[in-house]
């Protein structure tokens, strides 16, 4: 069998915390990418100490190290798209924002999520961290993936201001995000799913399985699939249409390896 043409292999670059349990974020994102025929570069921005039950501590990595590792890869490999997963402090966010600005030709998928409740993050001001996300990263994102409840939570805490009262997703558009894909959004009585809010084009709605594993895993999985498709050169709207069924199928595979929660299974049967 002839070797695949390297030019045909999608090359996403993924920024996020390292989860040693393999339940979410790095390194499982690289496994997901491999299953989709892509080769992921990864840049750790924090290291979790955790098991399948939850996160115990978080070690945030220096911004200089994040910048050095990212630029080392970006200057060596023809990266096709970027994914930025959960970030915990303004310094890391500012560093990633500068990298995204320097490589603004690359599509960026931004996954927004609430940080774990651990003592390591108690020294941080949530208003400053959320403000950095909104002001520095959201304006550069081609696509934002977020649990529908998080923008509402931020608005209730006074962390998300908007000229349109009661419209947290509209606030994300005001910050510059053209596409916001909300997970666990209400589609009807007793039915949740995915809702795409588009600033200047038609949106969309899709059914989405009720999570039987960590909700954050599902969002991270969807964002990773989207990044792989964007790295192939597929337009964002078309990538979303393809990513939803692909991610839905992957959500059906999970197992219970430890004493905590079930996690998604990406290994071959």
Cα→Cα distances 146→161, 180, 197, Å: 17, 7, 11
Q: Is the bond preceding residue 27 a cis peptide, omega within 30 degrees?
A: yes
Q: How far apart are CA 194 and CA 184, in angstroms?
A: 6
Does residue 193 have a pLDDT over 70?
Answer: yes
Each residue's pLDDT tens digit, 18-58? 999 888 899 899 999 999 999 999 999 999 999 988 899 99
Each residue's pLDDT tens digit, 236-254? 999 999 999 999 998 888 8
> pLDDT over 70 for what percent of the chain?
93
Q: Are strands 179-188 and 41-51 parallel, antiparallel or unpaired?
A: unpaired
Each residue's pLDDT tens digit, 72-99? 999 999 999 999 999 999 999 999 999 9
């Amino acid at each position: 069998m002839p070797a695949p043409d390297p030019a045909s292999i999608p090359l996403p670059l993924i920024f996020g915390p390292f989860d040693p349990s393999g339940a979410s974020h790095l390194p499982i994102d690289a496994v997901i990418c491999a299953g989709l025929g892509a080769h992921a570069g990864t840049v750790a921005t924090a290291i979790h100490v955790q098991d399948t039950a939850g996160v115990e501590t978080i070690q945030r990595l220096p911004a200089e190290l994040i910048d050095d590792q990212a630029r080392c890869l970006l200057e060596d490999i023809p990266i096709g798209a970027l994914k930025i997963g959960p970030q915990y402090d303004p310094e890391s966010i500012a560093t990633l924002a500068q990298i995204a600005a320097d490589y603004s030709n690359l599509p960026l998928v931004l996954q927004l999520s609430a940080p774990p409740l651990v003592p390591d993050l108690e020294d941080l001001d949530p208003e400053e961290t959320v403000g950095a996300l909104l002001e520095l990263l959201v304006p550069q994102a081609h696509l934002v993936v977020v649990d529908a409840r998080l923008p509402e939570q931020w608005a209730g805490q006074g962390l998300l201001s908007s000229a349109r009262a009661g419209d947290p997703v509209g606030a994300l558009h005001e910050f510059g995000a053209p596409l916001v894909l909300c997970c666990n959004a209400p589609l009807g009585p007793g039915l949740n799913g995915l809702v795409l809010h588009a600033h200047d084009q038609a949106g969309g709605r899709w059914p989405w399985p009720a999570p039987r594993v960590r909700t954050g895993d599902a969002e991270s999985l969807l964002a990773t699939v989207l990044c792989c498709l964007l790295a192939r050169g597929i337009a964002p709207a078309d990538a979303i249409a393809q990513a939803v069924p692909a991610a839905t199928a992957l959500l059906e595979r999970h197992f219970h390896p430890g004493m905590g929660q079930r996690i998604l299974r990406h290994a071959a049967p």
